[in-house]
Amino acid sequence: MIFRSALTLIFIPILVWLGWLYTQNTQYPPADKLFADVLKAEQNSCYIADAQLTLSSKNHTNKCAAKVYRLKHSSKIEYLTKPKGAVIITNCQGAFSYDPLNNTSTHSECCGLMNCSELMQLLLSNYKAQIIGEASIAKRACWVLSIKSRHFKNYPSRVIWVDKQNHLILRAQDIGCDGKMRSDFCIQNIEMQEDLPESIFNETQAYRVNCLRMEKCANINEAGRIIGLSVTEPGYIPKGYRLEGIRICRCSCGCNFVTTQIRYTDGLQIISIFQHRNGHQCKECRIPTHNTRKEGDCSINLLGNNLLAVCKRGDRQILVMGNLPKNEIRKIALSFK
């Protein structure tokens, strides 16, 4: 009897705790449905916000304050601290960035191979969401969601803090393959505004200096004709990725060097592949080039938070860039014929 009583005293608290844990977990909404609602809310959001952006690389961490403007499919980020004066604009026409430190700008035309709805479905098919907690951001109650690949382990992931009321993302952390944080975007203060003028999201003439232009291209054959080389797609692309678009990149330095960029996406991550004539030597050129001497060589370097693989195929130099595991970047680069 004493033994049974002792067991009862042990197991009753455990059962009560398990019951409490179950009721707590059932308060969470279905994670994948919440994630889908978040993506829809982001497409219709209109606000002005103060934010802090933290970028972490192998040997350096940089924090900066920023002003964020959002009007549905258009957004603008103005950096208020180093790099003070930098601007990033995205809209239906493409993306534009200005770097005041180097007095350079980049304009990327939208390729338009996938619309927002298709991109959202691609993201949902490749990533699964899990609610891992609750928090408060900018004095607003949030769900905390972990977004991880459905296909790969040790793969880049994201953690997002979602406003419980309107489903807007108030904080987002990008996590690298090694499990370490690569970036942290956190809104400090937010004000909903549906009457923002669209002129906020237009490029201004003052920003258009030393501009690297990335113009959309209809197909692979046209890209090859423009740069004077045979341009091909890789023989291998990781599961879940789709062709997002093809662009021709023209540098502003006056050397007339051009390259082609093929972009693939799984809805969250981007793989960029550049192909151009091997042996370009211009020191002023902003298009990434590296010396490759031997056929079949494949060197891999860290470029910011991305890995960059460089290889040679005949008179072509091929660069593969992405935030992916090293073995995947190498496999893509070596799959070119």
182 and 117 within one domain:
yes
Average pLDDT, integer, range 295-316: 84
CATH at 280 = 3.30.200.100
Among 163, 179, 201, the domain boundary falls at 201
- Return d(Cα 67, Cα 286) in angstroms, integer: 27
Asked whether residue 240 falls in the same domain as residue 147, the answer is no
Phi/psi for 271 (5° steps) reads -115, 120
- Please report the pLDDT score of residue 256 as a whole number: 77
Q: How far is CA 174 from CA 41, 59, 184, 253, 323, in A?
A: 20, 17, 7, 33, 10
Residue 22 inside a domain? The answer is no
Q: Is residue 243 part of a domain?
A: yes
The pLDDT score that the predictor gives to residue 206 is 60
Q: Is residue 321 situated within a structural domain?
A: yes
Tokens of 115: 């619309």
* pTM (predicted TM-score): 0.85
Q: What is the pLDDT of residues 126-176, one digit of tens each?
A: 999 999 999 999 999 999 999 999 999 889 999 999 999 999 999 999 999
Q: Is 247 helix (H, G, I), strand (E, B) or coil?
A: strand
pLDDT at 55 over 70: yes
Domain assignment present for 172: yes
What's the residue count for the chain? 337
- pLDDT value at 115 more than 90: no
Mean of pLDDT over the chain: 86
Are residue 182 and residue 230 in the same domain, yes or no? Answer: no
According to the model, what pLDDT value does residue 294 have? 63
Calpha distance 194→140 (Å, rounded): 19
Task: Identify the CATH number of the domain in which residue 50 sits.
Answer: 2.50.20.10
Residue 217 has pLDDT above 80, yes or no: yes
Range(s) of the domain holding residue 75:
31-201
Last residue of a domain, one of 153, 174, 201: 201
> Distance (Å, rounded) from C-alpha 137 to C-alpha 10?
39
Q: Is pLDDT at 208 greater than 80 in this prediction?
A: no
In contact, 130 and 145? CB cutoff 8 Å? yes
Domain count, the chain: 2
Taking only the tens place, the pLDDT of each residue in 58-90 is: 778 889 999 999 999 899 999 998 888 899 999
Among 176, 201, 226, the domain boundary falls at: 201
Radius of gyration of the chain from its Cα atoms, rounded to whole angstroms: 24
Whether residue 102 is found in the same domain as residue 251:
no
Pairing status of strand 169-175 against strand 181-192: antiparallel
pLDDT at 146: 97
